[in-house]
Structure formats: C-alpha cells, structure tokens
Amino acid sequence: MKIIGIVTGLFIVSASLGAQTPVYLDETKPIEDRVEDALGRMTLEEKIAMIHAQSKFSSPGVQRLGIPEIWTTDGPHGIRAEVRWDEWVQAGWTNDSCVAFPALTCLAATWNEEMAALYGKSIGEEARYREKDVLLGPGVNIYRTPLNGRNFEYMGEDPYLAGTMVVPYVRGVQSNGVAACVKHYALNNHEVNRHNTNVIVDDRTLYEIYLPAFKAAVQEGGAWAIMGSYNLYKDMHCCHNEYTLDRILKGEWGFDGVVISDWGGTHNTDQAIANGLDMEFGTWTNGLHNGITNSYDSYFLAGPYIEKIRKGEIGTEELDEKVRRVLRLAYRTVMDRTRPLGSLCSEAHYAAARKIAGEGIVLLKNDGGLLPMEIHDGSKILVVGENAIKMMTVGGGSSSLKVQREILPLDGIRERFGDKAEIVYERGYVGDVTGEYNGVTTGQDLSESRSPEQLIADAVEAAADADYVIFVGGLNKSDHQDCEDADRTELGLPYGQDDVIEALAAVTDRLVVVNVSGNAVAMPWIDDVPAVLQAWYIGSEAGHAIADVLSGDVNPSGKLPFTFPERLEDVPAHIFGDYTGVASRDTVDIEYKDGIYVGYRWTDMQKKTKPLFAFGHGLSYTEFEYGKPVIDRKEMTSDGTVTVSVRIANTGDREGKETVQMYVGDRKSSLPRPLKELKGFRKVSLAPGESTVVTFTVDEDDLAFFDPDRHEWVAEPGVFDVYIASASDDVRGKVSFELK
C-alpha cells in the first residue's frame, strides 16, 4: 500500500501503485487535463452530489477521490458569521468576527480603481483565512430607482463606472485563491416581488445598461463564479435562464466558471438542467419554501435529476459540463495548494477600510467654507442624531456582519476633537432601536423615553451656543430602508428627521448634515443647511473616516455614483409608472419603459427639472482649475483612436484629489442616444500649485451603441463630442472629431 497524494488532509491510498500519481492530483498538469481525469473517475452519484448544496453554505466534494468540499460565504462587505449546518441560527463561534469594509456604493464613490483593488485583496484575505472558497459578491446591479432596498450593495447607475470598478475588486479577491461570485445576474433592480418579477426590457437597454458590468467582471476581471438573480426575464427565472446564462454569459462572453443559484432561486429541474445553472444552493426542501431539514437530496439538481437519468429520460452531457465547471472552480480555489493563507481582522485591513471610506465620502455642499472644522480650546461641538450612535454593520439582509469592532460617528468625533472641544450629544429623533439580524446582536441599548417634541427641543437648546452642530442621520438597515427583500416606501428621510434638521437650521448657521445611507434621499431643507456630507455605510472605521473628513485630515474626494433627484417624480422608472412597489403573490410584469435613459442619461435631457445633486458630483476643500481640452486629431478612422488631453491644476491651499470625467456624445444617430455617456475617468492627486495633464484615449468601442436588429455593437460615421467634466452637470470643456 502506498500513499499517492494528500489533499486538504485526506490521504489518497492505493493498493495497486506501481502507477504514477493520478493526473487529477498532479499539480504540474494543466487544469483542464486534471478536470477531465477527475471527471472520468466519478460515479453518477458523485457527480450529482457536486452540483448541489450539502449545507446552508457548502457543497460536497468527493471524499473517495480526495476532492474537498466547497465553502461559500456571504459578502460583499465582509465575511459573514458562521451559521449552523442546516439552520440560519448562529453557530456560536467566538472566532468568526470580521472587518466590515465600506458598502459598495462607497467604493464606487471613490472613482478609484486602486481602492477597488485594495478592497478586493483585503476582503479576499479575510475570506481565505476563514477557509472560504467562494465570496458571494460583489454586486453590480444598476441603480434604477432610489427605492431599491439593496442599492447600497451595488456600484451605482452607470454601467461604465460599475464595470471599471468591479474588475480590480474581482482580481483582488481571486488573488487569494478565493472565487468572486458576481451578483445578481441580471435585472435585479428592486426587491419588492423579487422572486416573481418578470422583467420586460428591450435588447438594446439590456446590452447597454444592465449587462456591461457583468461582462467586464467576466471578460476583464476573469470572475470564477456568477450568481443568478431571483427575478424572471422572458418568463424564465434568471437562475436557469436560456437567454442570460446559456446564450449570453456562456455563449457570447465565453464564461468558463460556475453559475451558482441565489439561495432558493431554483424552481424547475428541467430548466435547471438545460439552462446554464451549475450549482444549486438554498433553504429547506426545494431551496425556497419551508420544509424538512437536511433535505438537500430533494433539491431540483439532486434526486429529481438523477432519477431522470436513471429512467433514461435524459443523458449525462449537461451533467458532465456542470461538474467540469465545479471541478475547475475547485482546482482554482480549494485544491490550489499554492494559494496564500490570508489574514483576519488585521490592522492593515482596518487601515484599508478607513482609507476607502475616507476617499468615498462625498462633500455635497460647503457654503462659506464651513468645513473643514476649525476647533479651538473651549469650542463646543453638538452632535445630534441616532445614526451617530447606532451600529450599522448589523442588518440589511445577507450582507449583515458580525464585526470585531465598529467605531461609531460620535466616538470618532470625540476621539478626534475631544482634547480641545466639549462634545455634547443629543438624540434628536428615535428611529430603529433594535439591533439584531440572524442571531447577531449589537448589544446596544437605544431605548428612549422622551417624546419627539422634547427630543427636538433639547437638541435646539443645546445648539444655541454650539460652535458646530453636526447632525448624523439618514437611513438605516431595517425593513423598508436599506435592506434586502424590502424596498423603501418614500424618498424622504424617515422618523421625522426633516423636522429636526429644520429646527436646528433655524437657530444656527453652523450646521453640518452627515447623511448615512446607501440611497439618495430628499432634502427639503437643503437651502438652509450650509454643509452636507454623504457618508454611506462605511463599516468598522465609520467614525474615524467621518472625523477624518470633518477635520480636514482627509480632503474629501468622493463623487456620486448615482443621481440624487429632488423628487421621486423626477425618476423615469417612476415617471413611466413601471415600478409599483406593491407586493404580489402572482408573477408581476415590469416593463423598463425608461429604456437606456437611466440616471444622468435622463436628467441631461430635462430642461424644466434638475437633480438635487448630479451623477459625478463631489466637492473638495481645495479648488481645481481645468484647462482647455486638446484633441490630437479631428478625424478617426475605423481602426484608429483619438487622444484627448486636459491640464488640471490645484489652485487652492491644500492637497487634494480630483476625478476628471470624460463623456462622449453622438451628434446624429440612426437610433436615439443620450446627450453624453461616461467613457473614461481619472483620479489625480495634486499638491497646492501643482498641475498635471490627464489624457484619455477614445476608440471605436467608446462610440458604439447596440443595434438590436443586427444584434451587434455599431459605431456609425459622424461627428462626436468629447466632454471633459468634473460632474455630469459640470462640463469644463468640449472637443469634437469625426468618425470616418
């Protein structure tokens, strides 16, 4: 008897060995050879077992062959706490806390690919240390309505921005030997009726708006996994959809990874076999509804599948292809013995979280230069608002986390300014006093006995002699706010916060509003408040990052990844009435009547209405001067490019970062097109008085639209305008060229 290999602690033993090591264990062989060798050794039962779950978050390997289990974990902002094998109840571990990184809206707001790479690498290290093989994230669904409860997990309204930011995130995660599972593919743009919404969308809109970020994750990022979404498209659930999975993802894009169902997203064995699903995960008997426990052999891709094969109703061609993909995933992750070991809750990870958060916070308004705060001995700072003291890492759905620590905004302000200033806190309003999700509790006592009127009166009284009043409010992660499986019911702030802000603004002109949310909110008080920060859900280092920006230790450089409308009635998804927000048990058809005109593509065309804050907007504590853009040629041939350059100078008195945005517009087209579309951006850091030249290259792909009749991307000859901008509504220069 001779030991021929060791795989994750399993000894593979053979009695016959004069033979060489099996190819599937020989790491010198190409992965595809190893996949075929392992596949050829597997029984039918072993193959079926590999394509469905064996527990809430794992699928079985093949113990007989030394092929390990594959373990998944929720993300995309941190590594979820362990749950019991067959229940959502916490497992009660004491070593499963994590670092909470900023929500992906904040990452997108950095407009910085280096931050995305740092994020991916850091969260991938935490996943690897916890021995996870698949991170269920990032999410890149498009921000179509500000009521979507899950927008905070995504990267904004623009496919180019989301596609550019997702690539380094995916690469960073996978550098640790952990697969990124990009979600939710596709057209999951609201949460109400998410299991039974049938999206009706034309091909052009699908390809131009809702697919590009997924395509970039696959073709540029090299993602090893994709998660299907809950909703339907063409009356077919997206976890087993002939069009999105077989034709587009695996056919047109050449995706060679695994398609994983969202938990309970599988509904039909025949469709799951035929339409691109590779691994089925879920809850209870059929992955969706309540039923018996430990029922994984009853899944659609389990017992029902193997019975069809045994009865001769179907062959094994599809099964073998699914298993190939799962084996390929295993060799890339759990069977790659060269992958790094990872690290958990390291100071480097906290530093990364703080850096990303600081760079993603957006300075929306700063009249009179109220910020950064200038604090002297004896100054008084009043902090108002429940979000200053409420943990935001717990709640919101599957992205809820169990953190090692979370620095609250009030604590960060006290730490930064408390040596000089008196820091006073007033509640102002009562929102969500709970602090529990899926068995993880914050341990906070947020109970309050004062009436709403008394809370406001106490805050106003304390504000009278304050040098600064900082209101920290916004949304939270309870139902019907920023939360999975529920959408918001209104654009306005909840819990009577507008009344608090207006009362404070009436007694002080030193008011700063810090909005903590993953969505746009209405701001009826905007004219009365001199300074506003958009602070997002920024994780473990929230308090530090907010204090960094308030103090000026960090010069804000975030830019909005989506439009803030003044009213819900200004959003095309609501203008055309195709978002109802009404729960239904029946299949609900939702037609995307806004088409390609999402976000700034719509607001650019409006003459009577303007956004509250435009896509790409974000101020700084310094000033940047844009020179006149210069183009290297006035004509582009079909096999060429044009180069556009612009000089940017920091004309202020402190170092800062500016994101230069490039949009392209087609003057005349056979199909309607937006005024302009984002096709490039560059973030630069400049010292006072320093300048640099930012250069963009425009190629034919940047000029193309998707022609649904020809089913291909088309760049028509004609004149194109290149806009250099600081925001979508702040164009600093324009040059033109002709495509011959």
Q: Which residue has the tokens 């690919």?
A: 113
Residue 60 structure tokens: 């079985």
Q: What domains are there in the chain, each with its CATH number? A: 42-86+95-332 (3.20.20.300), 361-554 (3.40.50.1700), 622-739 (2.60.40.10)
Mean pLDDT of 427-440: 94
What element of type H or E holds 328? helix 317-332
Other CB atoms within 10 Å distance of the CB of residue 499 = 17
- What is the rounded CA–CA span in Å between residue 55 and residue 220? 32
Catalytic residue (one of 133, 262, 578, 604): 262
Q: Which amino acid is at 371?
A: L
Residue 340: per-residue pLDDT: 97
**Contact at 8 Å (CB) between 556 and 531?**
no
Strands 179-185 and 134-136: parallel
| Burial degree of 501 (CB within 10 A; 0-12, 13-18, 19+) | buried
Residue from 85, 59, 90 nearest 72 by CA:
59
- E-only strand ranges, 526-619: 531-534, 588-591
- E-only strand ranges, 236-348: 236-237, 258-260
Mean pLDDT of 121-132: 98
**How many H helices and E strands in the chain?**
17, 31
- What is the rounded CA–CA span in Å between residue 662 and residue 79? 35
Residue 578: per-residue pLDDT: 85
- What is the rounded CA–CA span in Å between residue 86 and residue 283? 8
7: pLDDT strictly greater than 60: no
Residue 670: per-residue pLDDT: 97
| Range name among 2-6, 226-230, 246-250, 494-498 with the lowest pLDDT average | 2-6
Vertex 535, ends 532 and 540: CA angle to 5°? 150
Strands 705-707 and 436-437: unpaired
- What is the rounded CA–CA span in Å between residue 628 and residue 141? 35
User: pLDDT grade, residue 4 (50/70/90)?
Assistant: very low
**Contact at 8 Å (CB) between 612 and 621?**
no
Vertex 524, ends 523 and 525: CA angle to 5°? 90
Residue 138 structure tokens: 């990032």
Residue 50 structure tokens: 């590999």
The model's pTM: 0.96
Residue 94 structure tokens: 């004491």
| DSSP for residue 250 | I
User: pLDDT grade, residue 420 (50/70/90)?
Assistant: very high
Residue 291: per-residue pLDDT: 63
Residue 288: per-residue pLDDT: 55
Strands 730-739 and 635-636: parallel
419 is catalytic: no
Residue 289: per-residue pLDDT: 59
Residue from 319, 294, 295 nearest 307 by CA:
319
Q: Which amino acid is at 535?
A: A
User: pLDDT grade, residue 88 (50/70/90)?
Assistant: confident
C-alpha dist (Å) from residue 573 to 154, 560, 578, 581, 593: 18, 19, 6, 11, 7
- What is the rounded CA–CA span in Å between residue 507 and residue 643? 53
Vertex 629, ends 561 and 599: CA angle to 5°? 20
**Contact at 8 Å (CB) between 142 and 592?**
no
The per-residue pLDDT for range 513-544, each reduced to its tens digit, is 999 999 999 999 999 999 999 999 999 999 99
**Contact at 8 Å (CB) between 555 and 657?**
yes
Residue 474's φ and ψ, nearest 5 degrees, are 115, -140
569-575 contacts: CB < 8 A, separation 24 or more?
A: 570/603, 570/606, 570/609, 570/611, 571/145, 571/146, 571/602, 572/597, 572/598, 572/602, 573/144, 573/145, 573/598, 574/145
Q: Would you say the C-alpha torsion 279, 282, 285, 288 has a positive or negative sign?
A: negative
Radius of gyration of the chain (CA): 26
72: pLDDT strictly greater than 50: yes
Other CB atoms within 10 Å distance of the CB of residue 235 = 10
User: pLDDT grade, residue 639 (50/70/90)?
Assistant: confident
**Contact at 8 Å (CB) between 250 and 260?**
no
Residue 580: per-residue pLDDT: 80
**Contact at 8 Å (CB) between 724 and 734?**
yes
The per-residue pLDDT for range 675-688, each reduced to its tens digit, is 999 999 999 999 99
The per-residue pLDDT for range 133-155, each reduced to its tens digit, is 999 999 999 999 999 999 999 99
Residues in the chain, how many? 740
| Range name among 76-90, 279-293, 321-335, 705-719 with the lowest pLDDT average | 279-293
**Contact at 8 Å (CB) between 678 and 161?**
yes
634: helix, strand or coil: coil
591: helix, strand or coil: strand
- What is the rounded CA–CA span in Å between residue 395 and residue 234? 33
- What is the rounded CA–CA span in Å between residue 77 and residue 96? 15
pLDDT more than 70, % of the chain: 96
Residue 19: per-residue pLDDT: 54
- 347-360 vs 542-551: helix crossing angle, rounded to 10: 50
98: pLDDT strictly greater than 60: yes
C-alpha dist (Å) from residue 162 to 165, 495, 593, 732: 5, 32, 22, 23
226 φ/ψ sector (left φ>0, alpha ψ -120 to 50, else beta): beta
**Contact at 8 Å (CB) between 44 and 309?**
yes
Residue from 91, 80, 84, 79 nearest 56 by CA:
84
Residue from 348, 278, 305, 366 nearest 125 by CA:
348
Residue from 184, 164, 168, 220 nearest 678 by CA:
164
The per-residue pLDDT for range 258-310, each reduced to its tens digit, is 999 999 999 999 999 999 999 999 866 555 556 667 789 999 999 999 999 99
The per-residue pLDDT for range 388-414, each reduced to its tens digit, is 999 999 999 999 999 999 999 999 999
- What is the rounded CA–CA span in Å between residue 179 and residue 391? 29
The rounded mean pLDDT for the chain is 95
String of b and e for 3-33 (b: at least 16 CB within 10 Å)?
ebbebeebebeeeeeeeeebbbbeeeeebee
Residue 2: per-residue pLDDT: 30
Residue 87: per-residue pLDDT: 83
- What is the rounded CA–CA span in Å between residue 521 and residue 712? 38
14: pLDDT strictly greater than 50: no
Residue 75: per-residue pLDDT: 87
Give strand pairing partners of 258.
225
Residues 6+ apart with CB under 8 A from 29: 23, 37
Mean pLDDT of 97-104: 98
18: pLDDT strictly greater than 60: no
Residue from 563, 555, 560, 562 nearest 684 by CA:
555
